[in-house]
Structure 1
């Protein structure tokens, strides 16, 4: 084969390898973009926590497993006390600082497989699955409440103290569906607020199984 033909084949081979490398790079870029978009669609942009849709999807799977293996699952519904006042008095940047602090502190109190999500506004939910006994949910709720005893630093060197009111609902006692459990835990949270802000309340007989 003439040297010119060999050189041309070498050039074609190099061009082909360069094209393959470019395609692989583009595929990696697309995969990264898709993962980023999927994360943005399922997580809260401020706190980085999963959002309501992600939480409800995990709750559906947890309830399916609990039914199969005869286990319990707990949902904790959290609401930040005095959040509106902080927002009004210190501004939205302060409110954002409170939400990020709540997210960090709540996450630190959970077990490895538990999940905390921001449902919206100043409301959060925690999924405890599996739950070995109801007292475990109450103990974790107490740890979450206690984590708010330390002042939260705000922009501009100010700080505030706030608290969390926590409602607890347990599968299968207080609901058999994600909607029923969230509703029961939400109602229990409002009862906790009525009794004493910065406390917890477990769903009782006033909220039967749905």
Structure 2
């Protein structure tokens, strides 16, 4: 079982790093390499309220799992119905499972529903969240209308006298158009996808009593 951590990690906006030169130790040779661009998905800022839901309840989050076909840091493109390809020049700065987990973590910690709980006080944990990223790719089957695709299955459990019981077990899907087939526009579209997912999730949380 993967370890749990407490809500409150830091996520940042899109970051682009370029590495174009590698200095070889052999005879002082300088070798040129194609530019590699690194991105992160930023934490969406969402602040919802709900009548009847006690705000600021303790939340513990488990790092999300991810489907094997999307666990690589390299961007994945869908080019036909059954064909995908990797982009080895554009990638996420860290593993997408960790990156999206951290982004959701910070977003929920900043919402009115949940609050950070010290690891030394597990009895104050009211909810725990786990999830799996089942889709994370750019659909470029129509080159003129590329789209970012993201799907997460989220499972929220509530602490009861009988232990943790599931209160939300839902699949959240989002598709966002990108203005063009470029890595920076696709990264921004994935940011919007995550905002969609978190917004839908918090709408379900708001219905809990």
Instruction: Give the TM-score taking structure 1 as reference length.
Output: 0.33
Considering fraction of residues, name the structure with more strand.
2
Instruction: Give the TM-score taking structure 2 as reference length.
Output: 0.34
Considering fraction of residues, name the structure with more helix.
1
Larger-gyration structure (1/2) = 1
